[in-house]
Structure 1
Amino acid sequence: MAPSAIPTPAPSAAPSSDAELLQFLQQLEAPLKNLPQLAKDFEATFHDLALTSTSQFLPTPVRVLPSGDETGQFLALDLGGTNLRVGVVELFGRSSLDTGGERLCIPTQGSWNIPEHLKSSTAEDLFHWVSERIRDVLRETSTTAEVMELGITFSFPMEQTSHTSALLMPMGKGFTFTNTNDLAALLTTAYAQTSAAGEPAIKIVSITNDSVATLLSAAYAHTTPHSKTAAGIIAGTGTNATCMCPIGKLHPAKKPSGGNAGGILLNTEWSINGTAPPLQPYVTDWDRHLDARNEKPGFQPLEEMVGGRYLGELVRLVGLDVFTQHSLPAGMYHEYGVDTKLCGDVEAASTDSDALALLADYFSADGGWGLGLETAAVFKRVCTTISTRAAALVAAATVGVLGVNDELEDGVDIVVGYTGTILEKYPGFKERCEGFMREIVRRMRGSEEGATVTLVEARDGGILGAAVLAAMVKGGST
């Protein structure tokens, strides 16, 4: 079903020329024309959410960033919207660099796609499966420890009052169970039910979310005397961010005991609906259609515009309106019938012939693409327009997050740690996002001078960040 099925005006006719196509896609390019103001609007919204919201800009128990001297061996778990990763992480600290060694290593790890049926099952079923995967990794680990200390990264909203407490909130990303559950209790119970004699027990030392883990990972590995890791962002299946916030800017219910001194890391949950106001001028009928058919309409407006789960679907919806004069493969008429990876591959194709071959292969079960080179070029242009909009929105939101702690005003070069398949693997996305960030900062300052903003991949950020936080908690530095 095309976006025009929604009771809001849609383009009156499909484009019939390059000029008309450009005009047709202009609504998707609208954010690019006003990025500095969009970043300011995000910042204002984020300040308001920190001060008023109880479902976004949630405080974590983390008050400081890692020093880089943390050491130890930890079991680490990273549960995301699509994948589960479990690994054994060894931290050697900054001193190991002085002798030519590595600061860390991950000798054993595993990665699994989360079965779709578990997303609509119970939390108990999901964590039973997770505990089995932990055992898979531990069986490959040469350890005689009776207890493995565990750090957890959990890529969903949760309420935390300590490093080991986490009450699950509605999850999104295709997960449909909504009852409130205690994460530590769920995993501990499930592991006890599945572990066998002679296997090590687990002790949960810390729980954090994906964006906090990304920031901690980047800060551990990349902070220097001349730079500061100031934020962590996720752009993968979904999206999220974390930043430091002065405690005085928080809602009273979110403030830790001990007054307003200092700062605290926030789990922004920027994907959900409190972030909607800056986006409203740029929401298209295609976005509205996607949202209306989602399992939780209105819940995650930013995620639906930038998340890997949705970019392919937006391409499909736009394509239905672009190619109204053509007979399309059956997959183009099925919800989520276009994979985001296909969009990236087509966008990166060096020639229209290569793009056409990719489309023909992807839709081979439907008899192939069946259309000519010109349609492949148009499909590629649609992919590029949608991914570029996503990169611009992530950039503007990131600059807005940096404003929460006035990070751009102290003159220090800023590092933003990132992870997620879109930033890591979608062709050109990271470069476009970083370019937009620097353009926004330059235009806001009216000068090329001042601190730079650089995106740095937090490689293995989920499991490394979980281990770093576990080391910080164990060392008493949080």
Structure 2
Amino acid sequence: MPSNPQNDFPEAFEICQKFDISEEQMREIVHRLTKEINMGLAKDTHPRAVVKCFITYVQDLPTGKERGKYLALDLGGTNFRVLLVTLKSESEINIESKSYAISKDLMEGPGKNLFDFIAECLASYCKEMHIEKENLPLGFTFSFPLQQVGINKGIMITWTKGFKCDGVVGKNVVELLQDAINRRGDLKVRIVAILNDTTGTLMSCAFANRNCRIGLIVGTGTNACYVEKTSNTEMFEGYQTSNKPNMIVNCEMGAFGDNGVLDFVRTSYDRAVDKQSINPKRQTFEKCISGMYLGELVRHVVVELMGKGLLFKGLNSQAIQEMWRFNTSYISDIESDAVGVHRQASMVMDQLGIRTNVEKDLECLRYICQTVSTRSAKLTSCALVCLINKMNSKDCSVGIDGGVYRYHPHYHRLLTENMNMLLKGSAKFELIVSEDGSGRGAALIAAVSA
């Protein structure tokens, strides 16, 4: 943090104080999230719970002995990928993949068109790899809220991330994709498992780290899954009779706070960003944490200070006034400069049509970025500590993926420091970057289930 923001830019300091979360507030957040998770797990409270805690039907973690060829399909944003994963040994995994862009028309048009397009890309990839006749098992990573009713059956709850295709919500997405594949008649593939990116992240890490118990995504969106005792997962029919002790639970944690329990730490800027989003009053926790929103929070603060003539005096641009124009990646860029250096901040503002080398302004911009990203990391730490406590784990690994975690220069350190502060030595943990959870993890689930 700058040496003395309170003296150097008191108005910005005052605004940024609103984003600060004390240790006491963090402990309260852990307490409230624990309560919400318990509601999501229990049969009688699940229907009204905001943190849904969906059963994934994945009860086996990888043993490290899985072998063979598997397909994976990863749909979770504006690009999707097809992967061919060959498990050769515990340390040798061969992955070949190809990405395909999804147009705005497909994102907002009929669901049938989207699934036909995915099937078309899958078919062309399989022909390219000469595996179209092999009838390989496929793991399907579908990173949208989903209620699983079986390992290969998932009912779409709601679109997020800018998608709004008709005819998908309330339907089994595995069936929609399998129908699209069957309509083509030129491809043999069986979808053996559907999962979301958090489950894939956990599985991908667990292949090499046996004590991985949490999968976390901090990217465009945010979510986590963890290993729960099967006997606690009341939404699972066999929760009392299952001979398997564990069940991976997909928290759908982004919705934490949709019932108002986070209002005590939200700011007027959060409410403004929420109002202009495509899903107002939904995904409250995610909007304080994830890459889709952090840049926009910074932009709101910057624009307010500019409007008062307190920042970038006499300068303005169309770009800085444009909603969503301040990318979250800019925050990582700005914070990656050494303290007292403002090269990246100057370049970012230049891209936004504001040419300036005024040290104090650029220092202030960095301070705003640090404030918003630090709060994101603190909230994420609360969630991880909540899950570690929930599992009563004394030592576990956390598999993490997503651009905010991967590319922000201080995020890992901020998580570690804040988790240690909250845990006070009660548990050991290791944070590991998950290698391609949504691809490799999907193939591993296909391997474990097939």
What TM-score comes out, normalization by structure 2 length? 0.89
Aligned equivalent of 2:20, options 21, 25, 29: 29
Alignment partner, residue 83 of structure 2: 87
Sort the Cα spacing of 1:434 and 1:131 in 2 relative to 1 into closer, same or farther, 3 A. Answer: farther
Provide, for residues 193-235 of structure 1, a one-character-per-residue CA deviation record: whole Å limited to 9, x for no partner: 4564xxx411111111111111111111222xxxx21111111
Alignment partner, residue 216 of structure 2: 233
Aligned equivalent of 2:371, options 358, 361, 385: 385
- CA distance in 2 between counterparts of 1:323 and 1:452 reads 45
Alignment of 1:166 with 2:154, yes or no, is: yes
- CA distance in 1 between counterparts of 2:448 and 2:160 reads 30
Counterpart of 1:339 in structure 2: which amino acid? N
Alignment partner, residue 11 of structure 1: none
Alignment partner, residue 70 of structure 2: 74
Sort the Cα spacing of 1:385 and 1:32 in 2 relative to 1 into closer, same or farther, 3 A. Answer: farther
State the SS of the aligned residue for 1:323.
helix
Q: Which moved more, 1:212-221 or 1:139-148?
A: 139-148
Counterpart of 1:28 in structure 2: which amino acid? F
State the SS of the aligned residue for 2:164.
coil
Gaps of 5+ in 1: 1-14, 95-101, 443-447
State the SS of the aligned residue for 2:323.
coil
Contact 2:123–2:132 (CA<8 Å) still a contact in 1?
no
Alignment partner, residue 131 of structure 1: 119
Alignment of 1:434 with 2:434, yes or no, is: no
- CA distance in 1 between counterparts of 2:100 and 2:225 reads 25
Alignment partner, residue 458 of structure 1: 434
Alignment of 1:182 with 2:144, yes or no, is: no
Superposition deviation, residue 58 in structure 1: 0.8
Superposition deviation, residue 370 in structure 1: 4.6
- CA distance in 2 between counterparts of 1:173 and 1:266 reads 22
Superposition deviation, residue 176 in structure 1: 2.0
Alignment of 1:105 with 2:94, yes or no, is: yes
Counterpart of 2:165 in structure 1: which amino acid? F
Provide, for residues 17-44 of structure 1, a one-character-per-residue CA deviation record: whole Å limited to 9, x for no partner: 4344323211101255633343233222
State the SS of the aligned residue for 2:319.
helix
- CA distance in 1 between counterparts of 2:23 and 2:301 reads 18
Alignment partner, residue 317 of structure 2: 329
- CA distance in 2 between counterparts of 1:308 and 1:414 reads 26
- CA distance in 2 between counterparts of 1:84 and 1:144 reads 19
- CA distance in 2 between counterparts of 1:82 and 1:373 reads 37
Sort the Cα spacing of 1:230 and 1:137 in 2 relative to 1 into closer, same or farther, 3 A. Answer: same
State the SS of the aligned residue for 1:75.
strand
Q: Give the % identical residues.
A: 26
- CA distance in 1 between counterparts of 2:32 and 2:437 reads 29
Aligned equivalent of 2:35, options 30, 41, 44: 44
Alignment partner, residue 3 of structure 2: none
What TM-score comes out, normalization by structure 1 length? 0.84
Alignment of 1:220 with 2:210, yes or no, is: no
Alignment of 1:358 with 2:347, yes or no, is: yes
State the SS of the aligned residue for 2:199.
helix
Root mean square deviation of aligned Cα? 2.3
Contact 1:71–1:471 (CA<8 Å) still a contact in 2?
yes
Alignment partner, residue 403 of structure 2: 421
Sort the Cα spacing of 1:113 and 1:267 in 2 relative to 1 into closer, same or farther, 3 A. Answer: same
Superposition deviation, residue 113 in structure 1: 4.0
- CA distance in 2 between counterparts of 1:299 and 1:267 reads 17
- CA distance in 1 between counterparts of 2:155 and 2:46 reads 17
Alignment partner, residue 445 of structure 1: none
Provide, for residues 395-414 of structure 1, a one-character-per-residue CA deviation record: whole Å limited to 9, x for no partner: 1111112233222xxx3x21
Task: Give the 5 Å matches for 1:333-412.
Answer: 333-350=321-338, 351-363=340-352, 366=353, 368-370=354-356, 372-407=358-393, 411=394
Alignment partner, residue 105 of structure 2: 117
- CA distance in 2 between counterparts of 1:339 and 1:194 reads 39
Alignment partner, residue 59 of structure 1: 55
Contact 2:40–2:53 (CA<8 Å) still a contact in 1?
yes
Q: Which has the higher helix share?
A: 1
- CA distance in 1 between counterparts of 2:41 and 2:329 reads 35
- CA distance in 2 between counterparts of 1:276 and 1:214 reads 28
- CA distance in 2 between counterparts of 1:83 and 1:33 reads 40
Alignment partner, residue 9 of structure 1: none
Count of aligned pairs: 431
- CA distance in 1 between counterparts of 2:110 and 2:408 reads 32
